[in-house]
Amino acid sequence: MMHRTNIYLEDAQQEMLRHLAASRSETMSEVIRRAIGRYISEELKSPDLGARMDALADRIRSRYPAPSDAQIDELVERGRQASGQQPLPPA
């Protein structure tokens, strides 16, 4: 599945991208997707990726406290009801 997104390019970047795409008989979107794919592949090889992901998780946890067991049970029950499943038996 593809998702539409907007990016802002400087004039020179947009012009060079247009020329590169035309020279390969591709769309600008194809060139951008390939470039992003290469960037992501390189980032996944980064030796500090694990530490950066841990730092991100810590930032997220600090903003959103962990839900209580009762809150989790309520969310599970609402999901079961919304999907037409039977309620869980009491524990």
Residue 61 confidence (pLDDT)? 86
Cα-Cα-Cα-Cα dihedral of 15, 16, 17, 23, to 10°? 110
Question: Rounded to an integer, what distance in angstroms lies between the CA atom of residue 46 and that of residue 52?
Answer: 10
Contacts of 21 (CB under 8 A, 6+ apart): 27, 28, 30, 31
Q: pTM for the whole thing?
A: 0.61
Residue 82 confidence (pLDDT)? 84
- pLDDT tens, position by position, 15-50: 999 999 999 999 999 999 999 999 999 999 999 999
